[in-house]
Amino acid sequence: MLLVVPTSCNQSNGSESVTPAPARTLVSSTLIGEYTPDQLRGRFTGATALFKVFIRYGIKAYRLEYNTTNTDGKVIKASGALIVPNVTTATPLLSMQHGTITSDGDAPSYFRSTSEAYTFGSVFASQGYIIAAPDYIGYGASKDVPHTYEQRNGLATASLDMLRATRDFLSDQKVNWDKRLYIAGYSEGGYATMSLQKKLEEETGSEFNLVASSCGAGAYDKPAFMKQIINEKTSGIDYVNRLYLWVLQTYDRIYGLNRPATAYFKEPYATQIAAQGQSATINVSLNQAFNDSFRLGINDGSDKAFLAAVQDNDVHDWKPRTPTRLYHGDADETVSFLNSQNAYDAMQKRGATNVQLIRINGATHATGILTFITGTYEFFGSIQ
């Protein structure tokens, strides 16, 4: 499991066009702390003790605040963590999109022990990667507005502008970045990574030298996954249902549907959801909680407004230029494996031979994470 950060530089991202750099997005930067290799090793005990062997360099962690655009088109201040290894050689940049969090305190920019930036981000940084970890809209500096949960453009835009703020910081501080960019994330982070990758490849020209993308257990095929949840039996676990409900309510809000809970759910669930929102406890397969008219409108295509909102967030059917891996457990009870399978099949049909599906046999949403992390290390280390 010894992993080495790649040292040679990929000079092309598949486009010969030159895109002018946009205006600065960085607003401010604050040093959170500096940590020695021994301090980093001390973070990992028990089941995570194996990560000690990956610690090579000390790190510095910063909180960045930057300007981005919310889903309403208005400029908003966002934040994220930036972790810089204590090395003098030129190093690559890794954008790490975090998975679902339900507490603002778990956002990367607070750099607390409960955040992915503090744990896995620190390990990657100690291997010699500069880590950019966006909080997303709804956390950190933007905690007073709703999070853009599983919304393609909100996640991709906040992540892209965090990369631009990182570039500003690295230039200001004269950090030796070799201009390579890697991106990775699991769960919501997997979906955010795919959304970011699509935006980078289709909208930013040669602004960044994206060389590899690793996406884990993301809900990429929104239309197919949505129909599966509406029509088929799911786990019925309350915390999983809350995630599905969160997505529905986010789309209802962002796309201006503004429907009452009774437009989606039957009683007694509608009343409970109206009172408690995404905190409602639903312990049945969610398809049993939807009302018949909503299900019919989805299945016969007559609910065009909701279907359009779901379709706008689909990121499974396109042709990536960048070497990409899709990691997913085939026993995932939260994000169905069909998302990665459908994405892989669609991309293959479009001729994307640089996309690989890594099926993690028997893995659930939680147990697939370790394979994703170690596989991503290996994958990025193999890309020159």
The Cα–Cα gap between 344 and 376 comes to 17
The DSSP element (H or E) to which 153 belongs, if any, is helix 152-173
Phi, psi of 78 (to 5 degrees): -120, 180
Cβ(116)–Cβ(204) below 8 Å: no
Please give the Cα distance from 192 to 186 (Å, whole number). Answer: 9
Percentage of the chain modeled with pLDDT above 90: 91
Q: What is the pLDDT of residue 12?
A: 40
CB 316 within 8 A of CB 338: no
Helical spans, DSSP H, in 220-368: 222-231, 238-254, 269-276, 292-299, 304-311, 338-349
Residue 268 preceded by cis peptide, ω within 30 = yes
Which of these ranges, 41-45, 182-186, 223-227, 356-360, has the smallest mean pLDDT? 41-45
Instruction: Please state which of the four CATH numbers 3.40.50.1820, 3.30.390.50, 1.10.8.350, 2.60.40.10 is assigned to the domain occupying 26-220+318-382.
Output: 3.40.50.1820
User: What local confidence, expressed as pLDDT, does residue 40 receive?
Assistant: 95
pLDDT of 22: 62
How many whole angstroms separate alpha carbon 359 and alpha carbon 212? 19
Alpha carbon distance 334, 241 (integer Å): 9
The predicted structure's pLDDT at residue 85? 98
Query: In sequence order, what are the residues at sequence separation of 6 or more whose Cβ sits closer than 8 angstroms to the Cβ of residue 4?
Result: 381
**Model pLDDT for residues 217-255, shown as the tens digit of each residue:** 999 999 999 999 999 999 999 999 999 999 999 999 999
pTM > 0.85? yes
| pLDDT given for residue 13 in this prediction | 42
Task: List where CATH 3.40.50.1820 sits in the chain.
Answer: 26-220+318-382
Write out the two tokens for 379.
Answer: 């994958």
* The pLDDT of residue 21: 54
Average pLDDT for 1-26: 50
The sheet with strand 59-69 has its strands ordered as: 26-35, 59-69, 75-85, 130-134, 91-97, 177-186, 209-216, 324-329, 355-360
Residue 212 has pLDDT above 50, yes or no: yes
The mean predicted confidence, pLDDT, of the chain is 94
Give residue 47's pLDDT: 76
Q: What is the structure's pLDDT at 45?
A: 87
Residue 162 main-chain phi, psi, to 5 deg: -65, -40
Measured between alpha carbons, how far is 85 from 62 in angstroms, rounded to an integer? 12
Q: What values do phi and psi take at 336, rounded to 5?
A: -55, 140
Which residue, 181, 178, 179, 166, is CA-closest to 29? 166
Per-residue pLDDT, 368: 97
Res. 48 pLDDT band, cuts 50 70 90:
confident
Token pair belonging to 264:
């989606």
Residue pLDDT, tens place only, 332-382? 999 999 999 999 999 999 999 999 999 999 999 999 999 999 999 999 999
pLDDT at site 74: 96
User: CA 165, CA 171: separation in Å to the nearest integer?
Assistant: 10
Residue whose token pair is 């040292």? 7
As a residue count, the chain comes to 384
- Whether residue 310 has pLDDT greater than 70: yes
